[in-house]
Amino acid sequence: MKKLSVLICLSFFLTGCTVSKVDLDSKEKALEIALNKDIELFNRVSIGYKYYLPRGMTIIDYENYNEVLYSNTTTYYLYVDITSYHYKKEKQYEIDNSKQYSKILNYDGKTGYLEIDKQNDKYYILYEYNYAKIEAIVKEKNINEAILNMSYILSSIKYNDVVIKNIIGENVLDFKEEKYTIKKPKQNDKTFLDYVNIYDKYNDEEEIEDTDTIKQNNETLEEVTK
């Protein structure tokens, strides 16, 4: 019976459905499975950190620990906060009941939060975990896929202490004085929505098959049903 319940949760997580507070709450078990998955594969290496980028996702811009990623009509904005990681500065999160969905995350010593809020006919996702953040504005039908991609990226980030220590040491004054928030590519006065308009010019009907995510989802389903 327990296996059947988990399988039902995963089926809701991996298929499109009407998004509501009830539907999102029913996916918490699947979110827990995704974050507890020990990913040992790494295909993206940057200065001071590396992570697993699901197949089907591409990097379309990078600058100063800010990356713009794209997959299946969705643009993701990733920021890796090596300063907070170096000083082990953990934020205090609170549930925001004004959002469509708000959840504090704490798995295997990694903390963060996930927020989803409706904006017009789309949904804004803010996902902070493991000293990194991802933002995205997605269609309702792409919420589950976006959360899964974000979970794999954020939970798989591994930091290089030696490299980060050298970086912070060389720029100690700059790092201590700068207030770190998610920065969008090309630092200027453009807003998050401005960048959505710049980068999100792909055909909305275009479907890019994320074969690696599908493969991992199938493996998870097989593990649950054993």
Question: What is the per-residue pLDDT across 174-187, written as a single tens digit (0 to 9) for each?
Answer: 544 444 444 444 43
Round the average pLDDT of the chain to a whole number and report it. Answer: 74
**pLDDT score at 41:** 83
* Cβ atoms 123, 137 nearer than 8 A: yes
Identify the band that residue 111 occupies on the pLDDT scale cut at 50, 70 and 90: very high
Identify the band that residue 21 occupies on the pLDDT scale cut at 50, 70 and 90: very low
**14, amino acid identity:** L
**pLDDT score at 169:** 76
Q: Give the β-pairing of 101-107 and 110-119.
A: antiparallel
Residue 210 in this model has a pLDDT that exceeds 70:
no
Q: What count of other Cβ atoms lies within 10 Å of the Cβ of residue 88? A: 7
| CA 144 – CA 155 distance, rounded (Å) | 16
Six-digit token string for 37 = 């998955």
Find the helix packing angle between 28-36 and 2-14, rounded to 10°: 90
| CA 157 – CA 155 distance, rounded (Å) | 6
Please compute the mean of the pLDDT values over residues 110-123 and round it to a whole number: 93
Residue 192 in this model has a pLDDT that exceeds 70:
no
The length of the chain in residues reads: 226
Task: Give me the torsion for CA of 12, 6, 100, 127, rounded to 10°.
Answer: -100
**pLDDT score at 30:** 61
Residue 85 in this model has a pLDDT that exceeds 80:
yes
Six-digit token string for 41 = 């594969």
**pLDDT score at 31:** 76
Q: Which residue has the higher pLDDT, 201 or 145?
A: 145
Q: Is 173 helix (H, G, I), strand (E, B) or coil?
A: helix
* Cβ atoms 63, 185 nearer than 8 A: yes
- Of 100, 87, 184, 85, the residue nearest 134 (C-alpha): 184
Task: Please give the C-alpha separations between residue 178 and each of 65, 80, 173, 192, in angstroms, as whole numbers.
Answer: 14, 15, 9, 20
**pLDDT score at 186:** 41
**pLDDT score at 171:** 62
* Cβ atoms 49, 58 nearer than 8 A: no
**pLDDT score at 174:** 53
Q: Which residue has the higher pLDDT, 119 or 191?
A: 119
| CA 71 – CA 117 distance, rounded (Å) | 20
**pLDDT cut 90: percent of the chain above it:** 42
Most confident of 67-71, 184-188, 204-208: 67-71
**pLDDT cut 70: percent of the chain above it:** 62
Residue 137 in this model has a pLDDT that exceeds 90:
yes
**pLDDT score at 148:** 87
Task: Give just the sign of the alpha carbon dihedral 210, 123, 220, 109.
Answer: positive
